[in-house]
Amino acid sequence: MKKTSGDIDWRHLDASHHLHPFTDNKALRLTGVRVIEKAEGVYLWDGDGNRYLDGFAGLWCVNVGYGRKELIEAAAAQMQQLPYYNLFFKTTTMPAIELAQAICELTPPGLNQVFFTGSGSEANDTVFRMVRRYWDLRGQKKKKVFIARKNAYHGSTVAGASLGGMRYMHEQGDLPIPGIEHIEQPYAFELAGDLSSEAFGRLAAGWLEQKILELGPEHVAAFIGEPIQGAGGVIIPPLNYWSEVEKICRKYDVLICADEVICGFGRLGHWFGCQHFGFTPDFMSIAKGLSSGYLPIGGVVVRDEVAELLVEQGGEFNHGFTYSGHPVCAAVALANLRILREERIVETVRKQSGPYLSRKLAELVDHPLVGEVRNIGLIGAIELVADKHTRKRCGKLGDTGSLCRDMALREGLILRATGDTMLLSPPLIISGAEIDELVAKTRLALDATA
Ligand code: PLP
């Protein structure tokens, strides 16, 4: 690897001092780490000079692509004006005010109050506390349980990881914390059998009703879910699933929390995933695409009736973060929203690049390893199987997915694998030619894996 900045051996230094997230650090020290050095548009370059098409937008977040001068300038200007101040103690900052307003111009009607956090995990922890506070104030002290879904990802903090349904996360650290129940995910590829999409949507929403009845509605505080489950395998529910869930939640007085950390800010061709599926949540967790990942910022958008009760009757809410609504992050998020709006990026995803990706992915269906392709907007998945008809997987679950991910990397494409499901989520500014390249390289990776 090229050594830059004098004669620094970056790999050695990394191995000496750096513990990576979600990584077997011992194995990494043996294989050596990939050092990403620079980026532009949808491309990344590593320290060895290799170029990669980033089919994953960093971590589902670089919506406006890399190298946007407007965001860099917004950060620099805000750094000079006011690099930091907090939102506690009866103070605020102009970027935080402007950003809260800008977000509420985009949210569905009735969601007009924003609480800022530094990340998606913090957003979900905030939801957890706000929901419990809400039911306390309503005098329903027994209403404490959250229902979430298997394989959901809601972050890495204790509440976030507990709400999430990743067994391998729960196994480390005695999670979930009490008061969280997980139901089956609406994973049509594995669970729908011969059912029509609509029938499967009703069936999957019915699992929620069953759980509410089993626990007793008087104990159930909220249901939390990603409109499309991301890290759990880009699980796209049937179109009627969320409206059925909404009906059930309203029937039993259960709050609806939409984790929009991935789906928010254009990925599905709408500003928010709930707009694609046509439901109105009580809470929306946001992060990632809010700043296109250029700086860390997240938040919770709260529905008016809920916020009203928390404000009018709640007194002080003993919760917040040093970096809640950090002014530089907020200024960058504002510039990011401006780009998304002015360049009509969300509309382009809905009308052009999303449908184009669907057409191109469909070309992969004939590949012997491909059991299904699916996408909405610019989030998609490819299921790898040994047998297209029985949908039997290839040997040990995860081995083929990991191999395919490595083969893609060799072709200069970054994809992610969850088990044997390949996930993609490129920057929203990806062009038609770049989608062609993404799909062509995916095919080469599939060929090399088969
Ligand atoms: N929620 C969802 C749906 C996510 O995908 C993620 C991160 O991938 C999070 C929450 C956690 O966000 P963060 O990593 O910013 O804490």
320-379 pLDDT, tens digit per residue, is 999 999 999 999 999 999 999 999 999 999 999 999 999 999 999 999 999 999 999 999
Phi/psi for 374 (5° steps) reads -155, 150
Query: CB neighbours of 230 closer than 8 A, spacing ≥ 6?
Result: 60, 153, 262, 263, 379, 423, 425
Tell me the pTM: 0.97
pLDDT for res 2: 53
- pLDDT single digits (tens) 260-279: 999 999 999 999 999 999 99
Using CB atoms within 10 Å of the CB of residue 41, give its burial: 0 to 12 exposed, 13 to 18 middle, 19+ buried.
middle
Is residue 198 very low, low, confident or very high in pLDDT (cuts 50, 70, 90)? very high
What does the alpha-carbon distance between residue 307 and residue 313 come to, in Å, rounded to a whole number? 10
Q: Is pLDDT at 90 greater than 90 in this prediction?
A: yes
Q: Which residues sit opposite 414 in a β-bridge?
A: 54
Question: Ligand 1 within 6 A of 261 CB?
Answer: yes
Sheet with 413-414, strands from edge to edge, namely 36-40, 43-46, 51-54, 413-414
**According to DSSP H, which parts of 252-362 are helical?**
273-277, 304-314, 327-342, 345-348, 354-362
Q: Which residue in this structure is represented by tokens 């879904």?
A: 149
Going along the chain from its start, the domains and CATH numbers come out as 34-64+344-449 (3.90.1150.10), 71-342 (3.40.640.10)
Which atom of ligand 1 is least distant from the CA of 226?
A: 3
159 Cα: distance to centroid of ligand 1 (angstroms): 12
65: its two tokens: 């692509």
Is residue 6 very low, low, confident or very high in pLDDT (cuts 50, 70, 90)? low
What does the alpha-carbon distance between residue 276 and residue 228 come to, in Å, rounded to a whole number? 10
- For residues 395-405, b (16+ Cβ closer than 10 Å) or e, as one string? eeeebbbebbb
120 Cα: distance to centroid of ligand 1 (angstroms): 5
pLDDT, average across residues 166-174: 95
Question: Which of 125, 154, 267 to probe ligand 1 with, by most ligand atoms within 8 A of CB?
Answer: 154
Amino acid identity for residue 378 in this structure: L
As a residue count, the chain comes to: 450
What does the alpha-carbon distance between residue 266 and residue 429 come to, in Å, rounded to a whole number? 11
What does the alpha-carbon distance between residue 84 and residue 433 come to, in Å, rounded to a whole number? 41
155 Cα: distance to centroid of ligand 1 (angstroms): 5
pLDDT for res 8: 82
- For residues 14-25, b (16+ Cβ closer than 10 Å) or e, as one string? eeeeeeeeeeee
pLDDT for res 4: 54
Q: Which residues sit opposite 264 in a β-bridge?
A: none
Question: Which of 22, 116, 117, 121 to probe ligand 1 with, by most ligand atoms within 8 A of CB?
Answer: 121
Q: Whose CA is nearest to atom 13 of ligand 1?
A: 120
Other residues' Cβ atoms within 10 Å of the Cβ of residue 38? 11
Q: Is pLDDT at 3 greater than 90 in this prediction?
A: no
Q: What angle do CA 426, 224, 165 make, to 5 degrees?
A: 75
Over pLDDT 70: what percentage of the chain?
98
Question: Which of 125, 127, 260, 262 to probe ligand 1 with, by most ligand atoms within 8 A of CB?
Answer: 262
Question: Ligand 1 within 6 A of 244 CB?
Answer: no
How far is C-alpha 288 from the chain's CA centre? 7
